[in-house]
Structure 1
Amino acid sequence: MKTYEAIGAIETFGIVFVIEAADAMCKAADVDVVGFENVASGYISVIVRGDVGACRTAVDAGVKAVENMGAEVYSSVVIASPHVDLQKIIDRYSLKTLLPEEN
Protein backbone atom coordinates (compact mmCIF):
# COMPACT_ATOMS: atom_id res chain seq x y z
CA MET A 1 0.00 0.00 0.00
CA LYS A 2 1.38 3.38 -1.01
CA THR A 3 1.50 6.10 1.64
CA TYR A 4 1.91 9.84 1.34
CA GLU A 5 3.56 12.60 3.31
CA ALA A 6 2.04 13.37 6.68
CA ILE A 7 -0.82 15.83 6.86
CA GLY A 8 -1.70 18.27 9.61
CA ALA A 9 -4.92 20.21 10.07
CA ILE A 10 -6.31 22.86 12.38
CA GLU A 11 -9.93 23.95 12.67
CA THR A 12 -10.94 27.24 14.25
CA PHE A 13 -13.57 29.94 13.86
CA GLY A 14 -12.90 32.75 11.39
CA ILE A 15 -10.63 33.45 8.46
CA VAL A 16 -8.35 35.79 10.41
CA PHE A 17 -7.49 33.06 12.90
CA VAL A 18 -6.94 30.41 10.25
CA ILE A 19 -4.64 32.75 8.30
CA GLU A 20 -2.67 33.39 11.49
CA ALA A 21 -2.49 29.63 12.07
CA ALA A 22 -1.32 28.95 8.51
CA ASP A 23 1.32 31.67 8.74
CA ALA A 24 2.66 30.29 12.02
CA MET A 25 2.61 26.75 10.63
CA CYS A 26 4.66 27.67 7.56
CA LYS A 27 7.14 29.73 9.57
CA ALA A 28 7.65 27.03 12.21
CA ALA A 29 8.37 24.08 9.94
CA ASP A 30 9.01 22.95 6.39
CA VAL A 31 5.39 22.32 5.39
CA ASP A 32 3.27 23.30 2.42
CA VAL A 33 -0.25 24.63 2.77
CA VAL A 34 -2.46 22.25 0.82
CA GLY A 35 -5.62 24.27 1.19
CA PHE A 36 -8.42 25.40 3.42
CA GLU A 37 -12.15 24.89 3.76
CA ASN A 38 -14.94 26.94 5.25
CA VAL A 39 -16.50 23.98 6.98
CA ALA A 40 -19.75 25.48 8.28
CA SER A 41 -20.97 28.72 9.83
CA GLY A 42 -17.51 30.25 10.02
CA TYR A 43 -15.56 27.18 11.08
CA ILE A 44 -12.51 26.99 8.85
CA SER A 45 -9.88 24.29 8.51
CA VAL A 46 -6.37 24.63 7.08
CA ILE A 47 -4.40 21.60 5.87
CA VAL A 48 -0.62 21.31 5.55
CA ARG A 49 1.61 18.56 4.23
CA GLY A 50 5.19 17.59 5.04
CA ASP A 51 7.13 15.02 7.01
CA VAL A 52 5.72 13.86 10.34
CA GLY A 53 7.96 15.97 12.55
CA ALA A 54 7.37 19.08 10.48
CA CYS A 55 3.60 18.60 10.54
CA ARG A 56 3.62 18.10 14.31
CA THR A 57 5.74 21.21 14.83
CA ALA A 58 3.55 23.18 12.42
CA VAL A 59 0.28 22.14 14.05
CA ASP A 60 1.61 22.92 17.52
CA ALA A 61 2.73 26.37 16.33
CA GLY A 62 -0.60 27.02 14.61
CA VAL A 63 -2.58 26.04 17.68
CA LYS A 64 -0.44 28.29 19.87
CA ALA A 65 -0.83 31.22 17.45
CA VAL A 66 -4.62 30.95 17.47
CA GLU A 67 -4.74 30.64 21.25
CA ASN A 68 -2.42 33.66 21.61
CA MET A 69 -5.01 35.70 19.69
CA GLY A 70 -7.64 34.69 22.25
CA ALA A 71 -9.49 32.30 19.94
CA GLU A 72 -10.31 28.65 20.37
CA VAL A 73 -8.94 25.80 18.28
CA TYR A 74 -11.83 23.38 17.83
CA SER A 75 -9.69 20.53 16.60
CA SER A 76 -6.26 19.67 15.30
CA VAL A 77 -4.68 16.51 13.98
CA VAL A 78 -1.51 15.10 12.48
CA ILE A 79 -1.83 11.94 10.41
CA ALA A 80 1.62 10.42 10.07
CA SER A 81 1.00 8.05 7.20
CA PRO A 82 -2.32 8.82 5.55
CA HIS A 83 -4.03 6.14 3.54
CA VAL A 84 -3.93 6.67 -0.21
CA ASP A 85 -7.71 7.20 -0.30
CA LEU A 86 -7.41 10.34 1.84
CA GLN A 87 -5.91 12.02 -1.21
CA LYS A 88 -9.45 12.26 -2.62
CA ILE A 89 -10.50 14.37 0.36
CA ILE A 90 -7.34 16.48 0.33
CA ASP A 91 -7.74 17.19 -3.38
CA ARG A 92 -11.21 18.60 -2.74
CA TYR A 93 -9.77 21.27 -0.43
CA SER A 94 -6.58 21.87 -2.37
CA LEU A 95 -5.64 25.38 -3.42
CA LYS A 96 -4.97 23.87 -6.84
CA THR A 97 -8.68 23.10 -7.07
CA LEU A 98 -9.74 26.48 -5.71
CA LEU A 99 -7.26 28.55 -7.73
CA PRO A 100 -6.27 26.45 -10.78
CA GLU A 101 -4.85 29.41 -12.72
CA GLU A 102 -2.51 30.27 -9.83
CA ASN A 103 -0.74 26.90 -9.69
Structure 2
Amino acid sequence: MPQAVGVIETLGFPAVLAAADAMVKAGRVTIVYYDIAESGEQVVAIRGPISEVRPAMEAGIEAAETAPPNGKLVTYYIVPNPPENVIEVLPLQYTDRVEQFRLM
Protein backbone atom coordinates (compact mmCIF):
# COMPACT_ATOMS: atom_id res chain seq x y z
CA MET A 1 0.00 0.00 0.00
CA PRO A 2 1.52 3.37 -1.01
CA GLN A 3 2.58 5.46 1.95
CA ALA A 4 2.54 9.24 2.30
CA VAL A 5 4.26 11.74 4.56
CA GLY A 6 2.53 14.81 5.95
CA VAL A 7 4.30 17.66 7.75
CA ILE A 8 2.80 20.56 9.68
CA GLU A 9 4.78 23.49 11.08
CA THR A 10 3.20 25.77 13.65
CA LEU A 11 4.10 28.73 15.80
CA GLY A 12 3.80 27.67 19.42
CA PHE A 13 3.45 24.32 21.15
CA PRO A 14 -0.36 24.36 21.71
CA ALA A 15 -0.95 24.56 17.96
CA VAL A 16 1.35 21.61 17.15
CA LEU A 17 -0.18 19.59 19.98
CA ALA A 18 -3.69 20.30 18.67
CA ALA A 19 -2.59 19.38 15.14
CA ALA A 20 -0.93 16.12 16.23
CA ASP A 21 -3.95 15.13 18.31
CA ALA A 22 -6.37 15.85 15.47
CA MET A 23 -4.26 13.98 12.91
CA VAL A 24 -3.99 10.72 14.85
CA LYS A 25 -7.71 10.83 15.60
CA ALA A 26 -8.72 11.55 11.99
CA GLY A 27 -6.79 8.80 10.23
CA ARG A 28 -4.70 5.65 10.57
CA VAL A 29 -1.44 7.56 10.74
CA THR A 30 1.67 7.40 12.91
CA ILE A 31 3.62 10.38 14.21
CA VAL A 32 7.17 9.68 13.07
CA TYR A 33 8.84 12.99 13.87
CA TYR A 34 8.52 15.99 16.14
CA ASP A 35 11.02 18.76 16.74
CA ILE A 36 11.42 22.40 17.59
CA ALA A 37 12.31 24.57 14.63
CA GLU A 38 13.35 28.22 14.88
CA SER A 39 11.79 31.07 16.85
CA GLY A 40 9.22 28.97 18.68
CA GLU A 41 8.11 27.06 15.62
CA GLN A 42 7.28 23.36 16.01
CA VAL A 43 7.25 20.61 13.38
CA VAL A 44 5.32 17.34 13.41
CA ALA A 45 5.41 14.68 10.68
CA ILE A 46 3.08 11.74 10.10
CA ARG A 47 3.16 8.68 7.86
CA GLY A 48 0.50 6.31 6.70
CA PRO A 49 -1.50 5.24 3.68
CA ILE A 50 -2.14 8.07 1.24
CA SER A 51 -5.89 7.73 1.73
CA GLU A 52 -5.43 8.23 5.49
CA VAL A 53 -2.81 10.99 5.48
CA ARG A 54 -4.91 13.41 3.45
CA PRO A 55 -7.91 13.58 5.86
CA ALA A 56 -5.55 13.49 8.84
CA MET A 57 -3.66 16.49 7.48
CA GLU A 58 -6.90 18.38 6.83
CA ALA A 59 -7.91 17.82 10.46
CA GLY A 60 -4.45 18.83 11.69
CA ILE A 61 -4.41 22.00 9.63
CA GLU A 62 -7.82 23.03 10.93
CA ALA A 63 -6.83 22.28 14.53
CA ALA A 64 -3.58 24.26 14.22
CA GLU A 65 -5.38 27.26 12.75
CA THR A 66 -7.92 27.37 15.56
CA ALA A 67 -5.68 26.48 18.53
CA PRO A 68 -5.95 29.06 21.30
CA PRO A 69 -4.58 31.39 22.44
CA ASN A 70 -1.87 32.36 19.95
CA GLY A 71 -1.46 29.23 17.85
CA LYS A 72 -0.65 29.76 14.23
CA LEU A 73 -0.21 27.43 11.27
CA VAL A 74 3.04 28.34 9.51
CA THR A 75 3.08 25.81 6.67
CA TYR A 76 2.23 22.24 5.71
CA TYR A 77 3.05 19.75 2.99
CA ILE A 78 2.03 16.25 1.87
CA VAL A 79 4.38 13.95 -0.05
CA PRO A 80 2.46 11.03 -1.57
CA ASN A 81 4.60 7.92 -2.04
CA PRO A 82 8.02 9.47 -1.26
CA PRO A 83 11.06 7.71 -2.74
CA GLU A 84 13.17 5.55 -0.41
CA ASN A 85 16.11 7.94 -0.45
CA VAL A 86 13.90 10.70 0.99
CA ILE A 87 12.74 8.41 3.79
CA GLU A 88 16.29 7.23 4.55
CA VAL A 89 17.90 10.68 4.58
CA LEU A 90 15.21 12.63 6.41
CA PRO A 91 13.99 11.54 9.87
CA LEU A 92 10.72 10.08 8.58
CA GLN A 93 11.16 6.33 8.95
CA TYR A 94 9.21 4.13 11.31
CA THR A 95 11.58 3.71 14.26
CA ASP A 96 11.42 1.20 17.10
CA ARG A 97 10.17 4.04 19.29
CA VAL A 98 7.06 4.66 17.14
CA GLU A 99 6.53 1.13 15.76
CA GLN A 100 4.27 0.18 18.68
CA PHE A 101 1.84 2.94 17.63
CA ARG A 102 1.83 2.04 13.94
CA LEU A 103 -1.59 1.03 12.67
CA MET A 104 -1.60 -1.34 9.76
Give your verdict on TM over 0.5.
Answer: yes
Paired position in structure 1 for 2:13:
15
- Residues paired across the two proteins, number: 93
Paired position in structure 1 for 2:90:
89
Unaligned 5+ segments in structure 1 are none
| Structure 1 residue 16: Cα displacement | 1.6
Identity across aligned pairs (percent)? 30
Q: Distance in 2 between matches of 1:53 and 1:10?
A: 17
Q: Distance in 2 between matches of 1:67 and 1:8?
A: 16
| Structure 1 residue 62: Cα displacement | 0.4
Q: Distance in 1 between matches of 2:46 and 2:79?
A: 11
Alpha-carbon RMSD: 2.1
Q: Distance in 2 between matches of 1:41 and 1:78?
A: 23
Q: Distance in 2 between matches of 1:68 and 1:6?
A: 25
1:27-54 CA-to-partner distances (Å, cap 9, x unmatched) read 0000000011111111111000001121
Q: Distance in 1 between matches of 2:59 and 2:81?
A: 21
Q: Which has the higher helix share?
A: 1
